[in-house]
Amino acid sequence: MRTRLACGLRLLTNVSPQPRLTRFPRAIRAQLRRCPRNCGLRLTVVLLAMLPAIGFSQFTTQMTGQINTQSATTSSAPETTAPPASSSGTTNSSSAALATAINAPPGYQLSANDGIAVEVFGEEDLKTTARLNSEGNASLPLLGSVHLAGLTLTQATTRVTELYGRDYLVSPKVNVTLLGYARRRFTVLGQINRPGSYEMPETSPGGIDLLEAIAMAGGYTRIAAPERTSVRRHSTNGDQIMRVNAKRVERGQTANFRVQDGDSITVGESIF
């Protein structure tokens, strides 16, 4: 039987008056039983109308299956947690400073602007570094300002031990070390190639030889008179001026002269 649809297409149908309806939904079978005539046309229209729904249902089922599969895969993957941030432990500044302690010469006495480290064994909170102020005092935990200028390192250790043992600790074990010398400077003037102020090397905290000081300033000029060298030194009793024959010192005819912190050297001019 040829059937013409509303859209103008011809559909070939070969349907018996009573088709088998077991493959169609119950609602369609019921409708076909009510109208056995033109059942082929009605069946074709109904199927064409249901095709989009059937296709969408299959698409939805496939997508649902894929989503479930992906969810199962994701859930089965082990969870990765970010490693805990490593806490950058703060380095004890006093401990780091203790590692850079320098060996002071025997009998060296502390003075203003010297850097020291104080360690009390078993008392981490009392470890500290300090620099003596212009008055020669150092600020220490619990003790406050302590005068240490003029003391050797051994005497300074004894002094701090007594102060901690007096009111705070029982039999404290204290160690005082030197971290750095104060800047010690001297001045060279007169008939010298590079007159000016110079800093003493840290390897010579007790002062340097006169000839070494002159060499640091570039040596004598052509008209210099080394035998007419004078040194001005500051002291508690006022300035002191000392005459030094640097020529005799250079020849070894007299004892060497030691230049100290704050000294001012003046090399005279030859009169010829």
Tell me the average confidence (pLDDT) per consecutive run of 10 residues in the chain, 272 residues long.
48 48 53 55 58 52 54 46 39 45 84 91 92 92 94 95 92 92 88 93 81 94 94 86 92 89 92 74
pLDDT given at position 42: 60
Rg (CA), the chain: 52
- Which pLDDT score is estimated for 138? 94
The answer to whether the beta carbons of residues 231 and 258 sit under 8 Å apart is no
In 39-189, alpha helices (H): 39-76, 93-98, 153-167
Residues near 222 by Cβ (< 8 Å), separated by ≥ 6? none
> Which of 50, 15, 48, 55 lies closest to 32, judged by CA?
15
Q: Give the pLDDT confidence score for residue 98 in this predicted structure.
A: 45
State the pLDDT at residue 139.
Answer: 94
What are 223's strand-pairing partners? none
pLDDT at 85: 40
Query: What SS3 class is residue 155?
Result: helix
**pLDDT for position 15:** 47
Residue 231 and residue 243: Cα distance in Å, rounded?
7
Specify the pLDDT at position 252: 87
Task: Report the predicted TM-score, pTM, of the whole model to 2 decimal places.
Answer: 0.46
Q: Residue 207 burial by CB count (10 A; 0-12/13-18/19+): exposed, middle or buried?
A: middle
What is the distance between the alpha carbons of residues 215 and 253, in angstroms, rounded to a whole number? 19
Q: How distant, in Å, are the alpha carbons of 2, 10, 42, 51, 99 from that of 5? A: 10, 6, 10, 17, 102
Distance CA 33, CA 49 (A): 19
